[in-house]
Amino acid sequence: MENSPIRSGKIPLREAEIREYIDKIARNVVQYLFDERLTLSTAESCTGGLIASAITSVPGASKVFGCGVVSYSEKIKEDVLGVPEGIISGFGVVSRETAMAMAERSRIISGSDIAVSVTGLCGPASPDDPAPVGTVFVGTSFSGRTKAENLKLYELGSFERNFNRLLAAAFALEAAMTRLRAGL
């Protein structure tokens, strides 16, 4: 995400600008999917459906959007998405491995061409969580390859929960667009 307009400062870290950017990139993702005759699905935890909402807000999204799962609990990650319990118990819910499994399972279950997933800590801080607030993993599964990366939102500043959720959704849409354009 080093080429991100958010990380580069081109998009100011203000709610209105981030929301506008989410709308813009969602339109771009839907248009790209439509043009290439591809489909998308989502598996979201900490974003609580923001990504699916952004996509389905675009007219014509029904032609390219398969489904979105808000898997906020471990049980839903395991029972609905099929994330192996060993991944969650071995690496934790907030991990690269869980994000990858969520994306891959979403793609498989929905039959979509690409899936994007998000899992992380958006705040507030808890003594039970060893990772800092802003530790958010975005996974993508496309063309037989599944990847995930830690967004490290805390590097951008200390934000309240809902702003971290917006940033995570924006970065997830960027990740989907990047994978689509790269063809991998």
Q: What is the pLDDT along the chain (184 residues), one digit of tens a residue?
A: 668 999 999 999 999 999 999 999 999 999 999 999 999 999 999 999 999 999 999 999 999 999 999 999 999 999 999 999 999 999 999 999 999 999 999 999 999 999 999 999 999 887 777 889 999 999 999 988 999 999 999 999 999 999 999 999 999 999 999 999 998 6
Residue 12 backbone dihedrals phi, psi, to 5 degrees: -65, 145
Which of 120, 111, 129 is closest to 172 using CA atoms? 120
Residue 101 backbone dihedrals phi, psi, to 5 degrees: -65, -40
pLDDT given for residue 2 in this prediction: 66
pLDDT given for residue 3 in this prediction: 81
Tokens found for residue 93: 């819910």
DSSP secondary structure letter of residue 154: G
Burial of residue 84, with CB atoms counted within 10 A of its CB: 0-12 exposed, 13-18 middle, 19 or more buried: middle
Tokens found for residue 42: 């989502």
Q: What's this model's pTM, rounded to 2 decimal places?
A: 0.95
Domains of the chain, by residue range, sit at: 5-182
**CATH entry, 5-182, from 3.40.50.970, 2.60.40.10, 3.90.950.20, 3.40.50.1820:** 3.90.950.20
Sign of the four-CA dihedral 44, 96, 39, 59: positive
